[in-house]
Structures are given as C-alpha cells and as structure tokens.
Amino acid sequence: MSVGQVLAILLRQAWILALTLLSAAVAAWGVMQFAPARYEAHATASIDPGHVNPVSGNEDYYRQIDLMQGNIVALVASEQVGLDVVKRLNLAQSPLIQQNFRRSSAFGRETIEDWIATGLRANLDPRFDLGTNVLDIAYIAPDPNQAALLANAFLAAAVDTSIAMKAAEAEQTARWFAPQLDRLQKELDEARAALRAFEAKENIVAPSLGADPQTSRYMAIGDQLSNARGVLTALQSRLASNSTDLSKDPSDPDLQILAGLKERLMTAESGIAAAKGVFGARNGKMIAQRANLAAIRREIAEATETMRQHLKDRIEMAQTEIASLEAQQLEAQKSLIKVQAKRDRLSQLERNVSFRTYELNARKVAAESAKLKSKLTFSAMTVLDEAAPPVAPAFPKPFVALPIAIAAGLALGLILALLKEAADRRIRFPVDLEYSAAGPFLGVLERARPSRPRIGASRRSLGPA
C-alpha cells in the first residue's frame, strides 16, 4: 500500500481520527483535573570520593566511582535509613497511621515501624546527577510540606548512617560536627520560640492526659442532657397514665400524700363495712363515717389534681432545662471545633520541636561516639541544599500529558481507521477494485450524460467517407 493510498484512507476516515484525538484530549484533561496532585521535593548532598585518586593512574577509577555511588544509593534506600526516619518523625505514634496499619494485610506479620518504613521507601528516589557526584534525594508525597520534611529526614538519616560507617580522626569529626550542632541548636531554639509564641498568642497549651477542658465540658453537658431527657420522659409518662403509685417516685411529696390518703380511705371503707351489721343506715355514727369517706375521696381528688399540676410544672421546667442544655451543648461543640484547629497547629509545632530535639541529641551522640572511636564522621558527604516545599506538582503536568495524549490519540485513530477500512468490503473507488478483482485494472467507464448534438458534428457525419 502506497503512501497516497494510506492518505486517501485517512481522508475518508478522518472522523475516526478526530474522534480518537478528541477522546484522548478529554481523557488527558480529566486526568489533569481530577487526578490527585503529587509533589516531589529534592534534597541534595555532595559526595567526595576521597579514597579514589584519579591522578595515580588507577585504571579502575570510574568503576570505583560507580561502585561508591551505587553503595550510597543503596544506603539511602535501605531499611535501616527508613526505620531511622520513622523514629525521627515519631510516625509510629500517629493515631491515623496506627489505624491504617491495623487495617493493612501486614498487621500481625511485621512491626508498624517496618510497615511505615516500607511505605516511605516506595516513594523515595535517590540518584546521582549524570556526570556528577551530587546525590539527589527525591521524595514524592501528596502534600508539599510532607514531601520536603521526608526528603530532609532521609538526607539526615543517610548522613547519620554514613557517619557510623566511615572512619576518621576525632579532630576532623569535631570540626565537622561543631557547625552542624550549632545549626541544629539554632533550629531547635527557633522551633521552641515559635511554640511559645503560638501558646501565648492563642492562650492555649497542650492538654495533659485525660484533662481536656473543652471535651470534658462537652461530655458533661451531654450527660446532663441525657439525664434531663430521661426525667422528662418519665414525667410525661406519669402525666399521661395519671398514675398515683408511690413506687413510681418514692421521693415525690404528692405521691406520699396520696399514699397516706389511700390508706385513710381503705381504713374508712373497712370501718363502714364493719359497722353496717351493727348500726342502721340512719345511725349518726354511720352518717359521720360516710361523710368522712366522702371527704377523704374529695381530698384524694384534690391531691391528684395538685399532683397533675405539679407534674405539668415539672415538665415545663424540664423542657426549659433541656433547651438550655441543648444551647450550651451547641456552644460547647462550636468551641471544641474552634479550638481543634489551634490544637492541630500546636501539635504540629510540638512535633517540630520533638523532631529538632531528637535530631540534635542524635547528632550529639553520634559526635561523641565518633570522637571516642577516632572515626571520620562526615568529611566525605556535604549537604548542598535542604528540600523546600515544592510549589508546582510533579504530577500531573499539562506539558507532558497533552503531547502524550495527542500522540496516543493519533496512533489509535490511525490503527482504527486502517482496521475499519480493512473490514469494509464495499467497492466505492478504483483502488478498491484492484484488491477485490482477480484481473488487472484497465480503466473506468463514467456514467453517460445526455447532451445536445452539435450541428457541425452532424454534417461531418453525413458527408462522404
């Protein structure tokens, strides 16, 4: 098939190319709009291969350079460095990470530190820039601050690990550690100052264990509200049933009065029943007992009505109390939500202080240990740039996604157009007849069109041959 034939096919199937190209562009736009952003932070260090001398005529110089770089890359991505990062950032104490670990398939098969370190190393990309001895530690995370923090933590952990693996003299160790310790101490002082300034500005301190005043107040109001609703339900049930049973509420004075009146009523009724066989109906004693019985019943009716009125008053008071408690609970909830953001910021500052303190202490311990053992601590590795939070995401990138989508759309459209042309067995053009007929293609007979004969042509046709 010639180029012209291919172009003719593509021209006939141009709608397929346009549709696939549009679909690829829409898919790329959807990826850029809805795919979660990923940020990549970079921390760099310069590696000095002091044990390799290129002037000495060593033929294995470049091989040793590659070996050294490979060892350092393996060191940065090692499990030991990952565990060190987990300890530095105190990630194992995060409630959210602990919850995710309990839900993972690794729960019960490995420790949470190993699980976190494995996850961190999956997003780590240590490498050397081409033709240089600059170690570039790249870390990818959905949050730019987290990416920078972890890149710096991996660099610091790799540095500390390399300290324990290199030999040198104590004097060189002290000279290198002195500015590092000063810098770390300064960063720790700044972190503590920021923490104290935030506590003073927001008038908030970290609550001690089980002593959160906002949460305690919210829970106490909730308990009071539950009790008040229970009391209201009981009072409404008593009012609806018109119950005068003392066992419903032994402390209720109205029920106590009604219980006493019921006892008097039973005594009066028993006395009348016993006197019926002795006295006549018109006997003065019988008349007095009946009058006393009627008076007791009136007292019971009045006491019952008084009790109902008191119940209504108590129900109204309970409803008022519930409304007040609900308003207090709403205010307590708003206060709790408002203070939660401050607590999160306070917790972040405290973690920063903890991280700086741990890093300073670890560096002091490493310095003292190196001095005692007369080891070369860090002369072969120098930090160039600490990672800063990236501004633009590393993924998705429009200038990468769109060209790829266009190229993929064109390639897919070309394939689909050729497949559709191959599946179409209809003969519509002379080139189609070449592939369908067994014989060679001779020519094309166009459809005859009626035309008016010319006069000169008619005369010539009538002349002698």
Contacts for 105-111: CB closer than 8 Å, 24+ residues apart: none
Q: Which helix (H) or strand (E) holds 140?
A: strand 134-141
Helical pair 95-103 and 112-122, crossing angle rounded to 10 deg: 90
- DSSP secondary structure of 294-319: HHHHHHHHHHHHHHHHHHHHHHHHHH
H helical segments located in 282-424: 284-373, 398-423
Q: What is the dihedral of CA 367, 371, 377, 378, to 10 degrees?
A: 60
User: Is residue 334 classed exposed, middle or buried when 0-12, 13-18 and 19+ CB atoms within 10 A define those classes?
Assistant: exposed
Q: What is the pLDDT of residue 56?
A: 46
Q: Nearest 5°: phi and psi at 60?
A: -95, 20
Eight-class DSSP state of 92? G
- DSSP secondary structure of 421-456: HHH-----SHHHHHHH-SS------PPP---PPPHH
CA distance 391 to 144: 7
Q: What is the pLDDT of residue 445?
A: 65
Contacts for 189-194: CB closer than 8 Å, 24+ residues apart: 191/349, 191/352, 191/353, 191/356, 192/353, 194/349, 194/352
pLDDT averaged per 10 residues, the chain (length 465)? 64 76 74 69 82 50 76 89 91 90 90 92 89 88 89 89 63 72 88 84 62 72 88 84 76 82 82 70 73 84 86 89 89 77 80 88 80 50 84 67 76 77 64 61 62 50 44
Given CA atoms 227, 231, 237, 240 in this order, what sign does their dihedral have?
Answer: negative
Q: Which helix (H) or strand (E) holds 14?
A: helix 14-34
Q: What is the pLDDT of residue 126?
A: 92
Judged by DSSP in three states, 383 sits in: strand
Report which of 79, 66, 80 is spatially closest to residue 128, judged by C-alpha positions: 66
Q: What is the pLDDT of residue 54?
A: 46
Q: What is the pLDDT of residue 465?
A: 41
CA distance 37 to 305: 72
Q: What is the pLDDT of residue 112?
A: 92
